[in-house]
Structure 1
């Protein structure tokens, strides 16, 4: 919490209860929820908070690098409270997004440098497949045929 307070003070931004609630929610989970999921989760405690407020809080938290925004395709964004560099994997069946832990691709920036005239600053890597539940459901359906 000291981190968010210091960053908001430094950026001269107002630290609202809604921004704190969204930030705490994201820091408390390894899930990668959408704005709608966050909104529904916070509704019981913040019944007057609107979905628009959640979107605005997320936008601000992303701008100050306290939260990562993940574009999982087709205008579908998820949010991650873990801002350390890491990759993600998404299930093509159910859409679940998970962190890939203990594999670092930071050296990739240097590896691709000879292939472009850009100054490579960062990267974001996504992998796609079937989560265990969807794979098991697929196997069960295949066996039934």
Structure 2
């Protein structure tokens, strides 16, 4: 995957740096939908000279070249997802966990929206909110 990222960065005129590759590799190897601060904190021990600004700039570059999507799920900071196909997300309102919803197809809904509004849709994001199974268990069995 790094070769693809390297090629895409170079083709778009961006420098290929170890930090940029590490940030993409980190994001592409998790389903946790981290924010920039989490990525920074987790990579800081390995890249002590990397700044939080580097993470934000890299995320913007990766979004621009189509390797990540930015999630705005009603928090103070954006979350990031390396799985760029359109898919819905669900956020736990108790612990903040964000999960992909893989088994739901939104095509008909999107077609209905386009048809009823006469908009030429260029994209969409679906967010659902609730309480995750782990938090539900904790509520039933408090320690």
- Give the structure-2-normalised TM-score: 0.91
Query: 1:81 offset after TM fit, Å?
Result: 1.2
Q: Using the alignment, how far apart are the partners of 2:41 and 2:52 within structure 1?
A: 9
> 87-96 vs 72-81, which deviates more?
72-81
Query: 1:121 offset after TM fit, Å?
Result: 2.0
The one-character-per-residue Cα deviations of 1:77-126 (angstroms, maximum 9, x if unpaired) are 11111112211100011111011112221332211122213111221111
Query: 1:9 offset after TM fit, Å?
Result: 2.0
Q: Using the alignment, how far apart are the partners of 1:105 and 1:18 within structure 2?
A: 35
Give the aligned partner of residue 118 of structure 1.
119
- Give the match's secondary structure for 1:40: helix
Contiguous gaps of at least 5 residues in structure 1: none
The one-character-per-residue Cα deviations of 1:19-72 (angstroms, maximum 9, x if unpaired) are 111000001111111111100110111011111111111111111110111001
Q: Using the alignment, how far apart are the partners of 1:20 and 1:106 within structure 2?
A: 33
Give the aligned partner of residue 72 of structure 1.
73
Matched residue count: 142
**Where in structure 2 are the equivalents of 1:95-134 lying within 5 Å?**
95-134=96-135
Contiguous gaps of at least 5 residues in structure 2: none
- Give the structure-1-normalised TM-score: 0.90
**Where in structure 2 are the equivalents of 1:2-21 lying within 5 Å?**
2-21=3-22
- Give the match's secondary structure for 1:123: coil
Q: Using the alignment, how far apart are the partners of 2:16 and 2:85 within structure 1?
A: 23
- Give the match's secondary structure for 1:107: helix
Q: Using the alignment, how far apart are the partners of 2:51 and 2:22 within structure 1?
A: 13
Q: Using the alignment, how far apart are the partners of 1:17 and 1:108 within structure 2?
A: 41
Give the aligned partner of residue 86 of structure 2.
85
- Give the match's secondary structure for 1:56: helix
